[in-house]
Chains A and B, each alone.
Chain A
Amino acid sequence: MPSATPGSVVAFADAPVAPLGPWTPPHPARAILGDPAAVLAAVALGIVALAALLAPWIAPFDPSLPLDLSARARPPSTTHWFGTDAISRDLLSRVMYGARLSLGISFIAVLVATLVGTGWGAVAGYAGGALDSTLMRIVDTGLAIPRIILLLAIVSLWGALTATGLALVLGLTGWFGASRLVRAEVRRVRQRDFTLAARALGAAPSRVLVRHVLPHAITPMLIAATLAIGQVVVVEAGLAFLGYGIAPPAASWGSIIRDGRDSVATAWWMSVFPGVTLALTVLAINVLGDRLRAALGGRQVPAP
């Protein structure tokens, strides 16, 4: 699914070379280690993940505690690397704690989307016929409503959400692409010999599906899920930016950017630092997902 939303950039493998002899694709780990951009992306993502995991121990300040009135809206300094916000909270600490929420929510959301999408797509692809068309028509419907508009409608009506609730809503509005991917893969594998053989031997359909068909969908799903985490981080931040994030004082990157939005003219650091962190994280995920795709087979994987 092509899209102009950030986080959905689809980069491609470089100029194809027609190998003459037998050629084996490089091992994923080697493909990433051999590429400076991928190494850089992995390191950046590692730093963000560490900061998120260790925030309670390494964050210099309490993220939701106003320090003192004289330290309001301070530009970056040696004490406050990212500056302070309008009510004197340390921005670096807020961004570190924000990473926990942003990445955690996205991870759960993608997990939910992958599970729902896999189940839905597998059943549709395996069943075929009228059930398949009905299920896929529902997927088409989901894809026909711009996701952010659908999310806005849901999130605003359900009122303030907990982090888990938000992750669930993000996951349940994000599985349509995944289900298409799995369905296509299942339909492709279903016709192959070993599937037919298993069915001829009288294996139950559910067993054939789980043991013989689904394993083939794992690689494309893995790549799609990697890229999806980057997208969901952006979508969650967008919702928070519009004021529909999780309830304060907890703050994801999007909520921090929203807090700094009105003072962008006078205190640029309030929105620039969390924004740069967000963009670089998404960039790193995109680069890694892309290299993973190149290493694991290079088949085009639509972003969910």
Chain B
Amino acid sequence: MTFLLRRSAQGLLLVFLATTLTFLLIHAAPGEPFDDMLSDPRATEAMRAAERARYGLDRPLAEQYGRFLSNVARGDLGVSFTYRRPVADVLAEHVPRTLALMGLALTLGFAGGILLGSLQGARPGSWFDRLTGGTAVLIAAIPDFWLALLALLLFAVVWQVLPVSGLRDATLPITATPLRRLADLARHAVLPAGTLALLIAATISRYQRAALIEEMTEAYLRTARAKGVPRRAIVFRHALRNALIPIITLGGLAVPALLGGAVFVEVVFAWPGMGSLAARAVEDRDYPIVLAVVLLSSGLVVLGSVLADVAQAVTDPRHRSA
């Protein structure tokens, strides 16, 4: 328990540092928000100054930072420049969609990757291992945005079996039952979640295969063979159970990569989540949103690594406190 508390404290410090770093980076940048207004001939310098004052951008940097921190501590993330709404509201709308996508992709990707890697590792060098292993290495080398584009081209354009983009079908009548709404949402989630899941599965299967092969050299497996345990039980009961421990912790550690992948996949499939929100906020120089996204994603990264530790403690009896 104290361990968990210490990890959480370290995590909070990390999130704080990450936010500070981003804050400094943003303010050290040569560009400024509302610069764009200058290119609008109707905007006067006075109007621009008024906008800046409205968001406190005319204050000294240290004061802006202090205000930002105290606001964050009170749960106030500021007001978005472009949405003209509290950042917290904007996030509350977008983040659950990204979490749903990530959760779906993690579940599918890990299930598929573990299954595939175990089958490969059980018979290394077999034709199945060579074929699927080669495919996995190939898929893992494909950039996420291009894989998303390819999936879009094949499923939505060539075969037209799945919707191209967005969250829901605009032609769905408002009278549709909740079940039909859910089914529609699921259909829209297949391509973005599937793309992410495929990339995860490709990578995880390599780790799983290697972990199982390494485990197969352990002395306790010789004991199991000497006991007369059938080969299938040796691989899928004894070795797999041990090989899964490091793999499960990868689930928590994969968060940064997953968040990065979500940006591209959401942009390609116009999935209105945190990733596409971040991409747009960066384009619009919407500082409060950018800062909040960094805050939240570094928080998720830290949470992921804490969860990885917890997962290890749960799955490995040697890490369980007696």
| Residues in chain A within 8 A of chain B (CB atoms) | 1-12, 14-16, 18, 137-138, 140-150, 152-154, 156-159, 230, 234, 237-238, 241-243, 257, 261, 264-265, 268, 271-272, 275, 278-280, 282-283, 286-287
Secondary structure at the B interface, as helix, strand, loop or mixed, is helix
What distance in Å separates the Cβ of A300 from its nearest Cβ neighbour in chain B?
A: 10
Bitwise, B162-194 to A at CB < 8 A (1) or not (0) is 000000000000000000000000000000000
Instruction: Please name 8 further chain A to chain B contacts, defined as beta carbons within 8 Å, in addition to the given A16-B217, A144-B256, sorted by A numbering.
Output: A2-B254, A5-B199, A137-B13, A158-B31, A265-B157, A271-B153, A279-B141, A282-B143
A-B contact pairs, 12 of them (CB 8 A): A2-B253, A9-B137, A10-B206, A12-B210, A15-B216, A141-B18, A145-B22, A148-B264, A152-B279, A241-B146, A242-B263, A257-B149
* Interface presence of B145 (CB below 8 A): yes
Contact: B254 with A153, CB < 8 Å?
no
Q: Which residue, of A2, A146, A152, has the highest number of chain B Cβ atoms within 10 A?
A: A146
A15-B124, A16-B214 given; A6·B142 CB < 8 A: yes
Secondary structure at the A interface, as helix, strand, loop or mixed, is helix
Contact: B143 with A237, CB < 8 Å?
yes
Give Cα A110 to B207, complex, Å: 25
A148-B263, A275-B146 given; A12·B157 CB < 8 A: no
Contact: B261 with A4, CB < 8 Å?
yes
What residues on A are CB-neighbors of B73 within 8 Å?
Answer: none
B199 partner, pick from A6, A14, A16, A257, beta carbons under 8 A: A6
Contact: A137 with B17, CB < 8 Å?
yes
What residues on B are CB-neighbors of A154 within 8 Å?
Answer: 25, 29
Residue in chain B with minimal CB distance to A157: B29
Residue in chain A with minimal CB distance to B214: A16
A145-B21, A145-B294, A148-B260 given; A4·B153 CB < 8 A: no
Bitwise, B246-272 to A at CB < 8 A (1) or not (0) is 000010011011111101100110000
A242 partner, pick from B31, B136, B267, beta carbons under 8 A: B267
- Interface stretch of the complex, out of B87-95, B228-236, B297-305: B297-305
| Residues in chain B within 8 A of chain A (CB atoms) | 13-15, 17-18, 21-22, 25-26, 29-31, 109, 124-125, 133, 136-138, 140-147, 149-150, 152-153, 157, 196, 199-200, 202-204, 206-207, 209-210, 213-214, 216-217, 250, 253-254, 256-261, 263-264, 267-268, 278-279, 282-283, 285, 290, 293-294, 297-298, 301-302
Give Cα A164 to B142, complex, Å: 25
A15-B125, A157-B285, A242-B267 given; A234·B143 CB < 8 A: yes
A-B contact count (CB 8 A): 203
Contact: B203 with A3, CB < 8 Å?
yes
A149 partner, pick from B203, B268, B278, beta carbons under 8 A: B278
What distance in Å separates the Cβ of A280 from its nearest Cβ neighbour in chain B?
A: 8
What residues on A are CB-neighbors of B203 within 8 Å?
Answer: 2-4, 8-10
Residue in chain B with minimal CB distance to A137: B17
Contact: A6 with B140, CB < 8 Å?
yes
Contact: B209 with A12, CB < 8 Å?
yes
What distance in Å separates the Cβ of B61 from its nearest Cβ neighbour in chain A?
A: 15
Give Cα A277 to B152, complex, Å: 19
What residues on A are CB-neighbors of B200 within 8 Å?
Answer: 4
Contact: A278 with B213, CB < 8 Å?
no
Contact: A146 with B301, CB < 8 Å?
yes
Contact: B297 with A146, CB < 8 Å?
yes
Residue in chain B with minimal CB distance to A282: B141
Residue in chain B with minimal CB distance to A14: B124
The 9 closest A-B pairs by CB, nearest first: A157-B29, A9-B140, A12-B210, A3-B257, A283-B141, A275-B146, A148-B260, A146-B259, A141-B17
